[in-house]
Amino acid sequence: MKIGIDIDEVVTDTFSEVLKFHNLKKGTSFKKEEMHDYRMWASFPCTREEIEKSLSEMISEGHIEKYLPIEESLESINLLRKNHELFFITARPENHKEQTFNWFDKNIPSLRDKIFFSEDHFNGKGNAKFKICQEKDIKIMLEDSPNDALQCAQIGIKVILFDKPWNKSISHRNITRVSGWKEALGVIDSIKKKQNRIYLAL
């Protein structure tokens, strides 16, 4: 099957690193557990410009290449890539590209040509994730963003939603909420078995 995978908060523990960096620079004490919106400037008493400045400084200091992987993400991806075609679809800004490629080369090599940059959350340029999924005929999307998850689900894509404080309010018949990668692999296996039964019945 063709499977789409978001990067931030699905593959990498991004927000923990961004908030740690921002807190150190600004003397704040923001926590990921307190985020009610994946846009940090909507969750905390700070401006979008302040968050963008912190991200720019992180890029210039090479921090993006040092993001830690989400628990069991690397092992799970290496398992999935044996039997499925994987596409990594991210809303990271354009200036994150090189360090994103470098992170993949270091942690899960030979996948940089499977990384696609969608419409990012800062300037709105580029294709939305659901459009990339349509173009690539992706049947399953692993996601944490509520907006992207709903858009994919509404066009019939099965979405595996990683449970986060900022996506608690959304639900859809095509969305399955999971606590982590172990559950996600189980859902993918169930979808695959169901599809196989359908093919056999035809």
pLDDT in tens, 65-87: 999 999 999 999 999 999 999 99
Domains detected in the chain: 2-13+68-201 (3.40.50.1000), 14-66 (no CATH)
Share of the chain above pLDDT 70, in %: 93
**Sign of the CA dihedral running 17, 20, 23, 29:** positive
Residues 129, 153: Cα–Cα separation, whole Å: 11
**Which helix (H) or strand (E) covers residue 107, if one does?**
helix 97-107
SS3 7: coil
Q: Are 45 and 39 in contact (CB under 8 A)?
A: no
pLDDT in tens, 107-157: 999 999 999 999 765 555 667 999 999 999 999 999 999 999 999 999 999
- Type of residue at 153: A
User: pTM of this prediction?
Assistant: 0.93
